Structure 1
Amino acid sequence: MHTPTPESQPVTAAQPSGTPTILAFATQKGGMGKTTLSVLVASWLHYKRGIKVALLDVDGSQLSVYNQRLREVENMDDETTARLDEQDIEPYAILSGNPRNVPGLLAKLPADVQLVLIDMPGNIDVDGYDLAIGKLDYLLVPMETSEYSVTTGFNFLTAIKQVGLLPTDRCRVVWNKYKPSRDGELADQLEERFAQYGFACLKSRIPQRDSYQDQGNRSTLFPMPTTYLRNSGLKDLFTEIESLLPNLQSHE
């Protein structure tokens, strides 16, 4: 197996018949977990479910996913190499750029990619942001139940609706950093309010866990260990995302 660079898969023009589904976790408030969720979903679906995934890191001010892959490759040891060989699947491609580069990056993807996740900037004023959002099949907006998070998330969705960048039935709210004892009743009430404006919420609710940030759990080369999935809400999230995308066929 060759060394897994961020653009580790051969770059060929995507064929129209194999157009991938495009999804992004995005919001205009930082710290909502969009990048962490993007990596966790990409790695699980690619390495555990056999869905051919690619990730576009267009958060140009940070490129945190792209740089994470570089660090993982740089720090590879014999144990990591052996794990990759045992996994027997090439690491998914990670391409970097800015929102305005999204059309060009999509054109460079391997032809067999089924699902593309886009790690968007946290600032909607970045050049090309609307262009990138307009390419999505699904937009997932991570929120907490705090007033500021709900307000900024709702305003973000409303702006997208008003401009017509994406139909509301392709947008979903996902509760992140969720504590059932504290947030359950409020989240239920907020979901009813969102529904009045045409915005649906995923059933999956992702509890607060600092361990999601650990390098071993948020790897771009391996899926999160199954021992961390218990009571995490993440397995439900992975399954729910697959159910949103019926054209995807896993190759387990």
Structure 2
Amino acid sequence: MKATKNPLKVSFFTQKGGVGKSTMTTLMASILHYRLGFNVLVMDCDFPQYSISNMRERDKKAIMLHEYHKKAAMRQFQLINKKAFPIIRCKAEDALEQTSNYINQSAAVPDIIFFDLPGTANTKGVLTTLKTMDFIFAPITADRLIVESTLGFTKAFLGLPDGAHESKEQVIWLFWNQIDGREKTGLYEIYEKTIAALQLNIMETRIMDSKRFRKESEDTGNSIFRSTLLPADLSLLKATRMNLFIEEFLQITPL
């Protein structure tokens, strides 16, 4: 008999490009599915680039051509005894229907569903889909335009009227991404005072910048960071503080 649990719906969303929403989605999906034992589904709604599903195709080719990665994938499958997390391509306007269809046809109901949405809020279906999320995590960097844009959008989004399918317990969390260790910490304190004044949530963990965020399994040697088929190496997670982010993520969400 199929489980009746309701999967957690999460989106890493920002209107600004290049701050890591698709990368964070991939990293979190891989860690939760392959290392922590959760069943994950990724809805790739980022039309037309579909970066996550295209990454899956590149990952398949890279692993078959790399003996070390191939053996790692085989060991992983034997250890956890489950397939790679599914990635479903769709447009934002069709995301909820496609998700429902998948759940109704799947033997294993996902514990968590990540929605990777276009960064343009006026794209058809984006706001409607965002309103159904249980949690939205918004990456920001120490750039005035990015912070102001994200704060402005977040306040406007929270002020939108309730929709018929809105998640009643929806929570938005901002978090610092791509931290440069040379930047003055006082800069973040100033921004965080503004965020607190707006009564918005911000995570304690600040993710360090790393060239690893821009590397995939096809060009990382024997270490894996960003991949849809294998989880990131623990040493790399620690170096970027992603391990602390994952712990905080699990404390925030009811997984």
In 1, Cα distance between the equivalents of 2:52 and 2:184? 30
In 1, Cα distance between the equivalents of 2:184 and 2:125? 35
Determine if contact 2:238/2:244 at 8 Å carries over to the other structure. Answer: no
AA at the equivalent of 1:46: H
Q: What residue number does 1:149 align with?
A: 146
Q: What residue number does 2:220 align with?
A: none
AA at the equivalent of 1:174: F
Matched, 1:50 2:37: yes
- Matched length: 233
Q: What residue number does 2:207 align with?
A: 206
AA at the equivalent of 1:207: M
Distance 1:148 1:168, change over 3 A: farther
Distance 1:180 1:160, change over 3 A: same
In 2, Cα distance between the equivalents of 1:201 and 1:180? 19
AA at the equivalent of 1:173: L
Matched, 1:61 2:48: yes
In 1, Cα distance between the equivalents of 2:119 and 2:171? 20
Counting only pairs closer than 5 Å after superposition, residues 1-252 of structure 1 correspond to structure 2 as: 17-77=4-64, 79=67, 80-88=69-77, 89-107=82-100, 108-109=102-103, 110=106, 111-164=108-161, 170-216=171-217, 217-246=225-254, 248=255
Determine if contact 1:169/1:198 at 8 Å carries over to the other structure. Answer: no
1:8-65 superposed Cα distances (whole Å, 9 cap, x missing partner): xxxxxx85x2110011111111111111111011101111111111111100121000
How far does residue 181 in structure 1 lie from its aligned partner after superposition? Answer: 4.2
SS of the equivalent of 1:173 reads strand
AA at the equivalent of 1:205: R
Distance 1:65 1:240, change over 3 A: same
Distance 1:183 1:45, change over 3 A: farther
How far does residue 105 in structure 1 lie from its aligned partner after superposition? Answer: 2.0
What percentage of aligned pairs have identical amino acids? Answer: 23
Determine if contact 1:169/1:200 at 8 Å carries over to the other structure. Answer: no
Determine if contact 1:169/1:199 at 8 Å carries over to the other structure. Answer: no
AA at the equivalent of 2:7: P
TM-score between the two structures when normalised by the length of structure 2: 0.85
Distance 1:63 1:169, change over 3 A: closer
TM-score between the two structures when normalised by the length of structure 1: 0.86
In 1, Cα distance between the equivalents of 2:55 and 2:9? 22
SS of the equivalent of 1:45 reads helix
In 1, Cα distance between the equivalents of 2:180 and 2:161? 33
In 1, Cα distance between the equivalents of 2:213 and 2:241? 12
Displacement over 3 Å in runs of 4+: 78-82, 164-169
In 1, Cα distance between the equivalents of 2:12 and 2:243? 17
SS of the equivalent of 2:10 reads strand
In 1, Cα distance between the equivalents of 2:184 and 2:20? 17
Unmatched 5+ stretches in structure 2: 218-224
SS of the equivalent of 1:229 reads helix
In 1, Cα distance between the equivalents of 2:212 and 2:62? 20
RMSD, aligned α-carbons: 2.0
Unmatched 5+ stretches in structure 1: 1-13
